[in-house]
Amino acid sequence: MIASNGGAAAVVAYLVCAVFVSWPLFIFEMILGQYVRKTFTKTWETVRPRWLSFGWAQWLLLFIAQSYMAMVTTYTLPYIVGSCRTPLPWTGNSEGYWKNTILNSFDNLQNKPAGPGPIQPVLAVSLLVYWLITYFSVVFGKKVCVISLFFEPYQ
């Protein structure tokens, strides 16, 4: 699709920037963070106090990206639970399952209440499960892993 519309140059420019700009900066930040052993805001402040705003900008971008990816992952959790049922709930009408069960959307706009609408219980529970998994992974690290509960680590 990109090549047929003349966008191959954009792909080449993207790959060049990813290899020669993004990857070295990523590696630089990882090495710098390991060396300083501080959070990213404190790391940039340690490098140069005037660069503290870089740390806060990085925090904001990571927060936005994490919030977006949380919702994308949240959409998959009801499908994981649904795949454990014997007749798969979406075998008859997959679009109906997505609209009615996951999104709980309205058939027509006349019945839609004003504002963003009610909380979708399926997505709210899925989002809660996602944030609990994220919280326990950050707080306890590898100790949360189910496999490590049953097996001794290889030494």
Question: 68-81 pLDDT, tens per residue?
Answer: 888 888 888 888 88
**Is residue 28 located within the same domain as residue 101?**
no
Domain assignment of residue 19, yes or no: yes
Host domain of residue 108: 52-150
Instruction: Tell me the C-alpha distance between 44 and 51, whole Å.
Output: 6
Phi and psi for 153 in degrees, rounded to 5?
-65, 145
CA distances to 15, 38, 45, 57, 66 from 61, rounded to whole Å, are 21, 18, 18, 6, 8
Q: How many structural domains comprise the chain? A: 2
**Is residue 57 located within the same domain as residue 124?**
yes
**Is residue 134 located within the same domain as residue 107?**
yes
Query: How far separated are the first and last CA of the chain, in Å rounded?
Result: 50
In the structure, what pLDDT confidence band is assigned to residue 128 with cuts at 50, 70 and 90?
Answer: very high
**Is residue 25 located within the same domain as residue 60?**
no
**Is residue 56 located within the same domain as residue 25?**
no
Domain assignment of residue 47, yes or no: no
